[in-house]
Amino acid sequence: SSEVLEAIENVIQGVLESLAQKKAPVLTLANRSDWRNIEFKDSVGLQMIPRCTTKQIRSDCPRSAPKFALMLKILSMIYKMVQTNTYATKRDIYYSDTLLFGSQSVVDNIINDVSCMLKIPRRSLHILSTTKGFVAGSLTYTEEDGTKVNCTCGATVCITKQQHLNRKDLISHAKFMLIVEKDATFQRLLDDDFCSKLSPCIMITGRGIPDLNTRLLVRKLWDTFQIPIFTLMDADPHGIEIMCIYKYGSVSMSFEAHHLTVPSIKWLGLLPSDLERLNIRKDVLIPFTKQDQNKLASIQKRPYIACQPMWKKELEIMAASKLKAEIQVLTSLSSDYLSRVYLPNKLQFGGWL
């Protein structure tokens, strides 16, 4: 707490010193979205370089003055929350003054900028994410009030909450973790009792692009249990992008890579080569859009693809076919093909990259 308060006081002191010298105050922060500020490290993923290019949020420029004011507003809110040991969600902050902030995305972006500027992880700023991730399977822990929570498949599905991330009492007999891209597939595997049929496992979904809490939980479970982690994604550029966020991180959160990435994650499916191997009919595949082509081309140029020759091959197969497939395409073979045949075979015979 004292570290957060001191960091905010230093920023405000800089503003006051500028005003005392009759200069327009300026906030300086790393340029988070610039690939030139990012380096790829095998053991960490995408991380921000120590001496990266910065951008200035000026108080005397009509374009940046509103952002300057909003950053000070959110800094003051964080300062009060840390002082009083209270918490708020990003949504609470937006709804505290919707006219001032304009949109939720403005608040989200400024919170990330503030975290990056202060060099303090977002969860230490007393701002909670409204989470959308689910976890199920061989995992138990005790709530602060003494309630025992059991995520055993079929019995309950627990939303990953901020307070689960600092737990010391996580217990699991899982042999592996499976990250599932979509909620529909996650629910289907729950219905098929997948977590206990093959061998005990933990199943997680971020229900699309994962939020911060889901990524933190994946990392926490990896640090705690050191068991293999596999991903089950759609065979399309969007699915690959999501897998890369779990494994290597994202450009915008590269300043927090050490707490968020798990570079040992394996790509289990759905692989582009699986579509041919399983003789999936062409009429159930989806043609690429221009957006898909651009997204795939951008992924192929990323630094981590160079050290993943097998991934490179899969992306080339996808680029050549210009076709994509959702995991649900496996139901064209049989309604329970995913849980009865596809996943057991892959896990037993090592069909991952």
Catalytic residue list: 95
303-306: list long-range contacts, CB under 8 Å, 24+ apart.
303/39, 303/40, 303/46, 304/40, 304/45, 304/46, 304/244, 304/247, 304/248
- The Cβ of residue 211 has, within 10 Å, a number of other Cβ atoms equal to 17
Q: Using alpha carbons only, how large is the chain's radius of gyration in Å?
A: 22
Alpha-carbon span 169 to 38, nearest angstrom: 35
Alpha-carbon span 45 to 273, nearest angstrom: 25
CB 29 within 8 A of CB 117: yes
Q: What are phi and psi of 298, to 5 degrees?
A: -70, -40
Going by their DSSP bridges, the two strands 140-142 and 148-150 should be labelled as antiparallel
CB 79 within 8 A of CB 8: yes
Alpha-carbon span 178 to 343, nearest angstrom: 10
Alpha-carbon span 201 to 332, nearest angstrom: 26
CB 294 within 8 A of CB 342: no
Q: Is 80 left (phi over 0), alpha (psi -120 to 50) or beta?
A: alpha
